[in-house]
Amino acid sequence: MTEPLLTGTGLGMIRGERVLFRDVSLEARMHDTVILRGANGAGKTTLLRILAGLTRPESGAVTRSAPHHWVSHREGLKPHETPHEHLSLWAKAWGATANVDGILKFMGLSRPADVPARHLSAGQRRRTALARLLLQPRSIWLLDEPFTALDAEGRELVLSLIEDHCREGGCVVAAIHGEAGFGAANEVTL
């Protein structure tokens, strides 16, 4: 049994006076996929943000023993930024030496590579955000609704990314609404 890459213990969150969830624990080891489930507003995104260290939980603690990638429904693209610029910027910011053109091609973004994000479709923006996962190998992937806005082909692409990542010893924690399309080691329902 390997050490868990990501552990959340006794996590609880309150927004205003509303208790979103309490006493949620989860862990993800190498090769694990953990799927977060719950109705709209149940706190899936908040839980992911807590796991990423963006939101401070009301109770409980998170430990990550490896670096993580974060992709949420807010892609982090600037309106004037092209997919190529976006990936180059983050490759530089992370000190990663990645083949940006290759990644763009792999993600099916060769054609819109130089189109500013404000002219991209929602699916293309999502692909750009997901392409950041390939800039730098990081063991933990935190994905918030990764399939939203993707077409069937894009969905297949992301599924294969997730499978490859887990096979190579990473772990994925994803909030997914509806069909996941891959076998999850663990499901957490909020």
Partner 1 sequence: MFSWFANPHRFLSLSNWLAPACYAGGLILMIWGMWQGLWVVPKDDYQGGDIMRVMFMHVPTAWLAMASYSALAVMSFIWFIWRHEVADVAAKAIAPLGAVWTAICLATGSIWGKPTWGTWWQWDDARMMSVLFMFFLFLGYMALRAAMDTRQKAARAGAILAMVGAINVPLIHYSVEMFTSLHQTASVITSSGPKMSAVYLWPLLSCALGQSLLFAGLVQTQMRTEIRDRRTAKLRAQLMAGG
Partner 2 sequence: MSAQPIFAAFRQALAEAWAGGAGALLPLGFFAGTAVLVPLGIGTDPATLRAVGPGILWVALALSSLVTLERIFQADTEDGALDLWLQTEAPPSAIAAAKTLAHFLTAGLPLALLSPLLALMFQAQASTGLLVNAAYYAVGGLAFYFWGGVGAALSATVRRGGLLISLIALPLYVPTAIFGAMAMTDAPGSQNAPLLLAASALFALAVAPFAMAAALRLAAD
Q: Which residues bind partner 1 (CB under 8 A)?
A: 14-19
**Contact pattern from residue 32 through residue 51 relative to partner 2, giving x for each residue in contact according to CB under 8 A and a dash for the rest:** -----------------x--
When the beta carbons of 14 and 89 are compared against partner 1, the nearer one is 14
Q: Is 89 in the site for partner 2 (CB under 8 A)?
A: yes
Q: Is 122 in the site for partner 2 (CB under 8 A)?
A: no
Q: Which long-range contacts (CB under 8 A, 24 or more apart) does 73-76 make?
A: 73/45, 73/144, 73/145, 73/148, 75/117, 75/125, 75/126, 75/128, 75/129, 76/129
Give me the phi and psi of 102, to 5 degrees please.
Answer: -60, -45
- Both structure tokens of 67: 């670096």
Of the listed pieces 16-24, 32-40, 66-74, 178-186, which binds partner 2 according to CB under 8 A?
Answer: 66-74
From the list 94, 93, 87, the residue with the least C-alpha distance to 109 is 87
Q: Is 135 in the site for partner 2 (CB under 8 A)?
A: no
Q: Is 78 in the site for partner 2 (CB under 8 A)?
A: yes
Task: Tell me which residues touch partner 2 (CB under 8 A).
Answer: 49, 52-56, 68, 70, 72-81, 85, 89-90, 92-95
